[in-house]
Amino acid sequence: MISSDTSGSRYLALNCAEERIQVVLGSPCEVMFSEEILCPGQSIRHLPTAIARALGVPSMGAAELSGIACVRGPGSFTGLRIAHAAMHGLSRPHAIPMAGLQYPQILAAQAEPFVGGTELWILTYARKGQVYIQGFKAGMPLAPVRPLPVPRAYELLQSRPADIFLLGSGLRKNPELSALPKATALPQFLDTPLPSILLAAACAAEYSSRAPQPLYLRKSDAEDNLESIASSRGIPAAEARKHIPDFE
C-alpha cells in the first residue's frame, strides 16, 4: 500500500454512484476544484470533460497526481463501471496509484456531527423497490452493506431497539421509510457527499497500483432483462447468456 499523508500531494476523487457525478481535486489542506453534475444515465458524456476541467484549473497534468480515488459502490451499475474505467485509464499511462471508496462510509462520516453516538442507517436507492442499506454507530459499521427490498428494510429498521437516524436517496424514493416510528430523517443535502468530505476520504485512502473492483451487489438491468433484449435483437437467450458471466 502507498501512503497518502503528504500535505503537498494532490488527489482526484470521482463519484458516479448515483444520479449526480462528482469530480473533486485537491490536497489534504484544500479543495482546489469541485464539480457536481446532475445527469442520470449520462455520466459517460460528462465525466471525461469534468476531469479535464479539474486538471485544467491548476494547469497540471494527470502525471502529477499523487493518487486517484473512486467511489466503488454500491450504486449505479453503469456509473460505477464508467468511473472505474476513467480512473484506470488515467492511472495506467502514468502509474498513478488508485484507491476505492465505500459510498455508505463516506455518507456516514458526513452525517456523524448531526447524530453523535446515535445509530445511523444509510439507505441509497437500488431500483426495483430495493435499497442498499448499512447501519453505523459512532462512525463504525454495524454490518456489511447489502441490498434489501423496501418492506424488509422497513422491518429491519423497525426492529432497532432505540431511536435512529436515517439518511440517503433511498428515503426520498421510498417515503414510507421516512415515516418509521423512532426514526429521524436527516436533511436531503446530506444525501450527496460534500466536496470536502469526498476529498478527505480520498486523501485518507490506502492506495495501490492495482485497480479496486466496483462493489456490485445486484445484477445490472441488462442482466435482469436479458431475454427481452435478446429477443428484440433476434438472438437466442441462451446464446446471449454465454456472453454475460454469472453475477456473484
DSSP 209-233: SSPPPP---S--HHHHTHHHHHHHT
Q: For the chain, which residues make up each domain, given as ranges?
A: 11-103+192-224, 104-191
Tens of pLDDT along the chain (248 residues) come to 443 445 579 999 999 999 999 999 999 999 999 999 999 989 999 999 999 999 998 878 899 999 999 999 999 999 999 999 999 999 999 999 999 999 999 999 999 999 988 999 999 999 889 999 999 999 999 999 999 999 999 999 999 988 999 999 999 999 999 889 899 999 999 999 999 999 999 999 999 999 999 999 866 555 555 466 556 667 776 665 666 554 33
Give me the pLDDT at residue 247, please. 39
The CATH-assigned architecture of domain 104-191 is 2-Layer Sandwich (3.30)
Buried b or exposed e, range 178-217, using 16+ CB within 10 angstroms: eebeebebbeeebbbbbbebbbbbbbebebeeebbebbbb
The CATH-assigned architecture of domain 11-103+192-224 is 2-Layer Sandwich (3.30)
Q: Do domains 11-103+192-224 and 104-191 have the same CATH topology?
A: yes
Q: Which amino acid is at 20?
A: R
Whose CA is closest to 187, among 204, 167, 217?
167
Tens of pLDDT, residues 181-209: 899 999 999 999 999 999 999 999 999 99
Please tell me the pTM assigned to this model: 0.86
Tens of pLDDT, residues 92-118: 999 999 999 999 999 999 999 999 889
